[in-house]
Structure 1
Amino acid sequence: MVEEFSSDDIKKKIDVILKEPEIRFCGLIDPDGELVAGGFDSSIVPMLNDKQRRQMYQELAHRVANRQGFDADLGRVKYSASRRENAVMLSFPFGKYIVLVMANPGINIDRFAWEILNKLGRQWSEYDSL
């Protein structure tokens, strides 16, 4: 599992992901639910205020931590997705961190998730067999 990473490297990867036209947000969330790197595409007006976003990051960190209790039996989570009326949210465990991506609602979630995994790099190479 990836625990160490170069902050410059992940910031570059987040910047690349943010250039995709479907992307609204891409960020690295720490185990406490704090945004470590990333943010919104410069043309996007956030749907949630700062307090709501912080709550969302904290709840995401909590859910990801809780899911790890099932890893021994079900295997590790590759990504998790939620399709809402106004946005799609995808989370990708990254060691003790989470890469959170928010996209426009019309995307094909599986295809899009694999594109994001490829942009994130070789840390996820064990998932190529799916």
Structure 2
Amino acid sequence: MSDLNPTLYLYTQKCTQLLGEPEIRFAGIVDKGGQLIAGGFKEGLVPHEGDETRLQSFLEFVSKASIRKEYDESLGPINYLAARRDKAVLVSFPFPITQILLLISAEPSANIESLAKKVVEIFTDVI
């Protein structure tokens, strides 16, 4: 880990902290090119069939949605985007200053607002 640059190390630590939450299955930081730069699936977790493909599709959707700015002036910037599916809750948090996204996949019973509060607690110093 010590060979990572300090920012990536910080992101890795924060994703690991999120993965400590029982309902979170995946927490990852994705750069503006769509590459996973920190985080991943919870250790020991067997991803649902196609999880990685679905996460990539969701990432493409949120990347496009997050860069849209037409409502920022009237409604304010996007804080997070969420989708509740039968097998998972997917939530993305854009960090516009650093042009990265935090992508979370959680159990379908997860409370989205509670997840959002936890993310704000953990990532306050990098948002």
Instruction: Specify the TM-score bucket, using the shorter chain as the normaliser.
Output: 0.7 to 0.9
1:76-115 per-residue CA deviation (whole Å, 9 max, x = no partner) reads 1111111111100111111211000110011111122111
Q: In structure 1, how many angstroms separate the alpha carbons of the residues matched to 2:112 and 2:75?
A: 21
1:101 matched to 2:101:
no
1:14 matched to 2:33:
no
Counterpart residue identity of residue 41, structure 2: F
Equivalent residue, structure 2, for 1:76: 77
What are the equivalent positions in structure 2 for 1:21-32 lying under 5 Å apart?
A: 21-32=22-33
**What's the secondary structure of 1:110's corresponding residue?**
helix
Deviation at 1:51, TM superposition (A): 4.7
Q: In structure 1, how many angstroms separate the alpha carbons of the residues matched to 2:102 and 2:76?
A: 19
Q: In structure 1, how many angstroms separate the alpha carbons of the residues matched to 2:33 and 2:52?
A: 16
Unaligned runs of 5+ in 1: 125-130
Unaligned runs of 5+ in 2: 1-5
Deviation at 1:37, TM superposition (A): 1.2
Classify 1:123/1:69 alpha carbon distance in 2 versus 1 (closer, same or farther; 3 Å).
farther
What are the equivalent positions in structure 2 for 1:54-73 lying under 5 Å apart?
A: 54-66=56-68, 68-73=69-74
* 4+ residue segments displaced more than 6 Å: none
TM-score, structure 2 length as denominator? 0.82
Classify 1:114/1:29 alpha carbon distance in 2 versus 1 (closer, same or farther; 3 Å).
same
Classify 1:49/1:77 alpha carbon distance in 2 versus 1 (closer, same or farther; 3 Å).
closer
What are the equivalent positions in structure 2 for 1:102-121 lying under 5 Å apart?
A: 102-121=105-124
TM-score, structure 1 length as denominator? 0.80
8 Å contact from structure 1 (residues 86, 105) kept in 2? yes
